[in-house]
Amino acid sequence: MSDIEEDIRSFLKNQGVQVIGIAGPERMDGPPSLDPTYTMRGAKSIVCFAMPMDVSAIYDFLSKKTPVTHNTDQLIGNQKIHHIAKRLADYLCELGYRARAVPTNNSYRRSLDVYSTHPSFSHRFGAIVSGIAGQGMSGNVMTKEYGAAVYLSTVVTDAVLKSDPLLPPRYFIDQYCKKCLICDKACPVKMFEMEKEEYVLLNGKLHPRGKRRSIDLCNASCFGLHSLSPDKKFSSWGKHWISSWVGREQDPKKENIRKKLLMKGGSVGDSTVRYKLIRSIGCELHPEEWIDDWKIVRRHEDLPQDELEQRKVQSGLIKKYLGIQIENPNVLTCGQCALVCGPTIQESAKRLKLLREGGIVVPGKDGRTVVVKTFEDARKIREQYPFRISRARMLSDILQSAVLWSWFYFGIEPRSIIKNWIYQRKLKRAINESS
């Protein structure tokens, strides 16, 4: 390996990163979101790396002890890995190359369908082609070291780098996933058809994952718009239910999932500010100095006992450092398919048990969160404390959301459209040839 690759590894290890992969120009054949030149003109190679999420915070989150520590870890983790990527890009520039850090999340291409959310560059695909991860049944990428509960980052550069060895396309699917499928059991909206496979074509090879019934189901869950599992045994941290989904799986062929998603999202009154916070955490780079201040809400033992006091501390930090005013700052409500996926099947089973035994979250008196063990108890509390907002607040949120999504993501990108058309033809041909 040449000196530059060694220098990159040494630099990242000094930053505390252990899982590092490099992909050169011959590895960039795939969907448009694998094209590094979209992020930086002239980019030829990528450096991708992964860092683990806080497992104790995952346990807090899945067991319904508190959502605070995991939400805090997400904020700190996304900012930390983004700063490391920025430092690596600056380091490569000092060596005479051009380089740029890809935003950690929520950096999407413009589209006529603003909710299509195609990434400017896919860290997942970057992780696969750089050899540090393989695709799992949920579509999340898995690392040998940490499973799927990781933060990913990528730096694109015009340096011509030597690629690292790859994992076989079915490495996790055959050795791990088909014996496990715990991600499917953790999904409150049953997004996957695990008995079927679909594929991503990367560098001429088909990488399988479980067939997705509709990505809008995932959006409904991750935005907290439907939190209850079909068997009514557990929930995510979302406080809303879509009434027609309670107690049953949705058939995307029979029901307009997107319509339900938009109708519910437009009725809750806080969709815009919640997404502003999510985007600020994932897409924007904030001064690194303030991260230490968040340690006061990083451990469950350090939190105020009262839930509203916990939120007050969080909201104060968010307003001070991010300039966003929000009542409930715990905006990350799901992501359970990745969170339950540990480095071993035994660890994943432990996390699923925490989730299923954790109970059901419902909003209670004064906006406090109530965790109950049965659906009947959850239903009674929801009837006792029904969710209500004014029409004025609802309308204001709808208008703000329309402006936000249009401002950042609405438009036509012929380059992306053409590349996707070419890619889809290649994918279809590869599937036909393999069958």
Task: Report d(CA 178, CA 174) in Å as an integer.
Answer: 6
- Give CA angle at 34 (91, 429), nearest 5°: 155
**What residues does 157 pair with on adjacent strands?**
45, 99
> Taking the CB of residue 247, how many other CB atoms lie within 10 A of it?
11
What pLDDT, on the 0 to 100 scale, is given for residue 254? Answer: 66
Task: Report d(CA 80, CA 69) in Å as an integer.
Answer: 16
Task: Report d(CA 112, CA 53) in Å as an integer.
Answer: 34
Return the structure tokens found at 32.
């448009």
Task: Report d(CA 298, CA 47) in Å as an integer.
Answer: 29
Task: Report d(CA 16, CA 32) in Å as an integer.
Answer: 31
Give pTM, 2 decimals: 0.95
DSSP 8-class letter at 198: E
Q: Which residues contact 153 (CB under 8 A, 6 or more apart)?
A: 48, 49, 50, 51, 81, 82, 84, 85, 101, 102, 104, 123
Task: Report d(CA 70, CA 236) in Å as an integer.
Answer: 13
What pLDDT, on the 0 to 100 scale, is given for residue 1? Answer: 43
Strands (E), 232-377: 360-363, 369-372
Which residue blocks in 166-248 are alpha helix, DSSP H?
171-175, 182-186, 215-222
Taking only Cα atoms into account, the Rg of the chain, rounded to an integer number of angstroms, comes to 21
Task: Report d(CA 220, CA 217) in Å as an integer.
Answer: 5
Return the structure tokens found at 325.
């005013």
What pLDDT, on the 0 to 100 scale, is given for residue 2? Answer: 58
Task: Report d(CA 124, CA 151) in Å as an integer.
Answer: 10
Instruction: Report the half-sphere exposure of 200 (CA within 13 A, side-chain side).
Output: 27
Parse the chain into domains and list their residue ranges.
Answer: 3-434
Cβ proximity of 275 and 117 under 8 Å: no
Task: Report d(CA 244, CA 264) in Å as an integer.
Answer: 11
Task: Report d(CA 352, CA 130) in Å as an integer.
Answer: 30
What SS3 class is residue 23?
Answer: strand
Going 90 to 81 to 108 to 431, the CA torsion angle's sign is positive
3-state helix, strand, coil split of the chain in percent (to 5) is: 50, 15, 35
Return the structure tokens found at 243.
């009434």
Task: Look up tokens 């950690």; give the residue.
Answer: 104
Task: Report d(CA 241, CA 228) in Å as an integer.
Answer: 7
Distance between terminal CA atoms of the chain? 38
Backbone angles phi, psi at 63, to 5 degrees: -80, 0
**What residues does 147 pair with on adjacent strands?**
143
Instruction: Report the half-sphere exposure of 254 (CA within 13 A, side-chain side).
Output: 5
Strands (E), 17-175: 19-23, 45-52, 99-101, 134-135, 141-142, 150-157
Of 232, 78, 46, 297, the C-alpha closest to 155 is 46
pLDDT of the chain, 435 residues: tens digit per residue: 458 999 999 999 999 999 999 999 999 999 999 999 999 999 999 999 999 999 999 999 999 999 999 999 999 999 999 999 999 999 999 999 999 999 999 999 999 998 888 999 999 999 999 999 999 999 999 999 999 999 999 999 999 999 999 999 999 999 999 999 999 999 999 999 999 999 999 999 999 999 998 889 999 999 999 999 999 999 999 999 999 899 887 777 767 888 888 999 999 999 999 999 999 999 999 998 888 887 777 676 777 888 999 899 899 999 999 999 999 999 999 999 999 999 999 999 999 999 999 999 999 998 899 999 999 999 999 999 999 999 999 999 999 999 999 999 999 999 999 999 999 999 999 999 997
Cβ proximity of 353 and 227 under 8 Å: no
